[in-house]
Homo-oligomer: A and B are copies of this chain.
């Protein structure tokens, strides 16, 4: 956990939501990497895998990558207190692993605040899209482990 001082300086006494003022921050190159994992019942995963992830509604991986990319650009429209940021790169990769798909999103921006939320939103919406394209096959698909993997360019670099 970070220093209480940092935390407390930001707290608005009566709990009103407010977008943090980033005007005094420097523009630097910011990157963030996030991931999300979608777990399938074994037989569903085998079936999808043997079909090269063509699900009932079309190519699951392609559709999810595009949906996640578009969602990253809409992050500040979805998350109330996020700043609008001029993203310079969005890349989403999806890796089939044992009975799950791992989604990895990487986002870059030159801005005054980091792009963690953009990377996390990209991974989450890609995961929801996978879910949508597979939900006719099972009600037991679970989106798990959506988390930040790395960030750079702000005060606190981080690498899991």
CB distance from A47 to the nearest CB of B (A): 7
Number of copies: 6
| 0/1 string, A82-93, CB within 8 A of B gives 1 | 111111111111
Cβ A63 vs Cβ B17 within 8 A: yes
Per-position binary interface string of chain A over residues 10-21, scored 1 when its CB falls under 8 Å from any chain B CB and 0 otherwise: 111001111111
Residue pair A125, B79 in contact (C-beta under 8 Å): yes
Interface centre among A17, A20, A145 (most CB of B within 10 A): A17
Chain B residues within 8 Å of A2, by CB: 136-138
Q: How far is the CB of A31 from chain B (nearest CB, A)?
A: 9
What is the interface of chain A, defined by CB distance below 8 A to chain B? 1-2, 6-7, 10-12, 15-23, 29, 36, 41, 43-44, 47, 51-52, 54-59, 61-63, 65-67, 69-71, 73-74, 76-93, 108-112, 116-117, 120-121, 124-125, 127-129, 131-133, 135-148, 151, 156, 158, 160
| Residues B43 and A1 in contact, CB atoms below 8 Å apart | yes
Take A20-B89, A86-B84, A132-B79 as given contacts and tell me if A124 and B143 are in contact as well, using a CB distance cutoff of 8 Å.
Answer: yes
Q: Which of B10, B70, B86, B144 contacts A145 (CB 8 A)?
A: B144
Q: Are the CB atoms of A147 and B142 closer together than 8 Å?
A: yes
